[in-house]
């Protein structure tokens, strides 16, 4: 068998199949035939299928066409992978944000934090913490909860930040607890206290960031949590949740 001639034959049949039929079977047969012709041409260069009693002429045209086909198939595959990753890692254009939670009774609004966060349904929220008024999550471990308590009229945080922060820290039940910070801060234009602790829960390192403020006769506590190896002391991982919280105007 003369592989050089067979190479030309298979490449020619492949071209006819590609341009003669537009459906899937023709396209597959065409690429397969060209690929087979390319393989036979390569083998003939190394002396395989080369008759000793016949002059040898290298099948450069089939080899060139085969290289072009492999190049186009390879570029098409790479392009498909890149497009798939780009579409999978970015939000869909025009995707509507989830409706905010507007709690008129407790006097706050929780917007959709975006950036991969979702607002928890009432059913899922109850499975996490029955006392929480609202919550969000981002993945299986990163999340945030909003708690609201009615207070005595004379309760205040200003001047008692360390004391209030310590009360919140004591409510976090983790092993090997370490206080990262406990300091005065602001949230939604209100004086607040912000604290952060790390510890272990079920053998996994966790980080908690807590913020408390007083407004409209209520104590609002925001508790954000996530794996300590995926969050940092700067709290940037929790900022979308914290920034999504807003107090409702008192005249609403």
How do residues 51-101 score in pLDDT, each as one tens digit?
Answer: 666 665 666 666 676 667 667 666 665 765 555 444 444 444 444 567 899
Q: Give the residue numbers spanning the domain of 8.
A: 3-89
User: 225 with 207: CB under 8 angstroms?
Assistant: yes
Neighbours of 40 (CB within 10 A): 26
Total domains in the fold of the chain: 2
Query: Does 199 lie in the same domain as 221?
Result: yes
Report the pLDDT averaged over residues 193-202: 95
Q: Which of 48, 68, 89 is the last residue of a domain?
A: 89
Candidate from 10-24, 28-42, 207-221, 229-243 with smallest mean pLDDT: 10-24
Query: Does 189 lie in the same domain as 165?
Result: yes
Query: What average pLDDT does the structure give for the chain?
Result: 80
Share of the chain above pLDDT 70, in %: 63
Q: How confident is the model at residue 24 (pLDDT cuts 50, 70, 90)?
A: very low
Q: What is the DSSP string of 166-230?
A: HHHHHT---EEEEEEEEEEEEETTEEEEEEEEEEEETTEEEEEEEEEEEETTEEEEEEEEEETTT
Q: Which of 57, 89, 121 is the last residue of a domain?
A: 89
Query: Does 63 lie in the same domain as 155?
Result: no
Pairing assessment for the beta strands 218-227 and 204-215 based on DSSP bridges: antiparallel
Sheet holding 134-138, edge to edge: 118-119, 134-138, 142-150, 218-227, 204-215, 190-201, 175-187
Q: Answer whether residue 15 shows pLDDT above 80.
A: no
């Amino acid at each position: 068998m003369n592989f050089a001639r067979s190479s030309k034959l298979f490449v020619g049949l492949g071209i006819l199949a590609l341009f003669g039929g537009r459906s899937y079977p023709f396209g597959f047969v065409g690429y397969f035939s060209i690929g087979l012709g390319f393989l036979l041409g390569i083998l003939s260069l190394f002396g395989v299928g080369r008759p000793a009693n016949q002059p040898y002429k290298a099948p450069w045209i089939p080899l060139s066409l085969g290289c072009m086909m492999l190049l186009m198939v390879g570029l098409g595959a790479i392009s498909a992978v890149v497009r798939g990753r780009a579409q999978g890692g970015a939000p869909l254009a025009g995707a509507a944000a989830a409706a905010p939670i507007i709690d008129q009774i407790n006097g706050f609004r929780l917007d959709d934090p975006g950036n991969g966060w979702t607002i928890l349904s009432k059913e899922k929220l109850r499975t996490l913490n029955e006392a929480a008024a609202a919550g969000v999550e981002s993945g299986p471990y990163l999340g945030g909860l909003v708690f609201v308590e009615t207070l005595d009229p004379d309760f205040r945080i200003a001047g008692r930040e360390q004391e209030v922060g310590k009360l919140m820290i004591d409510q976090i039940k983790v092993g090997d607890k370490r206080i990262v910070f406990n300091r005065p801060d602001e949230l939604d234009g209100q004086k607040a206290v912000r604290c952060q602790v790390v510890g272990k829960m079920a053998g996994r390192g966790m980080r908690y960031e807590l913020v408390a403020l007083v407004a409209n006769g209520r104590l609002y506590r925001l508790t954000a949590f996530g794996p300590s190896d995926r969050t940092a002391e700067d709290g940037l991982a929790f900022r979308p949740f914290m920034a999504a919280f807003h107090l409702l105007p008192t005249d609403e």
